Amino acid sequence: MMALTLWNEFKQNEGTLLANTIASGNVLIAMRLKVTTFGYLSLSARLSTCLLINPPREETNSLKAWYNVHRRELIKLVEDAAYKDSNKLLPPPREEDIIDTESAINTLKDDNQDSGTLHISTAKNQSMQI
């Protein structure tokens, strides 16, 4: 969840459509937006922005179905202005989900036994080949 600011023609055209159909859980695909992370994540349309509302794609139906399942939770997040609190939207990982780099590399080794080469550079510019 984030704030989306529409200007000029976007406000009049797409903004009106979004406002009139907000309860349906619109799916947006946008390109060339201005992204701001000061205080909270927000997106703003510019003259070069391309905005598609409910594009005719299979993923659109999947996202709308997900929205319908989670609608109450999402409405609550909006009412609580959760978009202003990154801990509500992107909580820190659980302690048991954090693993050290060596374990992650070993997992990659186990999963990619017949794959190519992976180079990892460390902060000290040391390179490790797996």
Q: What is the pLDDT of residues 21-79, one digit of tens each?
A: 877 888 888 888 887 776 666 778 887 888 888 888 888 889 889 888 988 988 888 78
Judge if 67 and 27 occupy the same domain.
yes
Structure confidence at residue 76 (pLDDT): 86
Which DSSP state fits 61? H
Q: Please say if the pLDDT value at position 126 is more than 50.
A: no
Question: pLDDT grade, residue 127 (50/70/90)?
Answer: very low
Q: Same domain, yes or no, for 73 and 119?
A: no
CB-side exposure of 46: number of CA atoms within 13 Å? Answer: 8
Q: Output the six-digit token pair for 128.
A: 């490790």
73 and 125 co-located in one domain: no
Does 101 share its domain with 79? no
For residue 116, the 8-state DSSP code is -
Range of the domain at 125: 95-129
Same domain, 114 and 66: no
Find, among 57, 45, 60, the residue nearest to 15 by Cα.
45
Q: Could you write out the DSSP letters of every residue in 3-51?
A: EEE--HHHHHTHHHHHHHTGGG---EEEES-EEE-SSS-EEE--TT-EE
Q: Supply the pLDDT for residue 99.
A: 78
Cβ-count burial of 14 within 10 angstroms (0-12 exposed, 13-18 middle, 19+ buried)?
A: buried
Residue with tokens 């609190």: 85
Number of domains forming the structure of the chain: 2
The verdict on 22 and 64 lying in the same domain is yes
Specify the pTM: 0.52
Are residues 61 and 107 located together in one domain of the fold? no
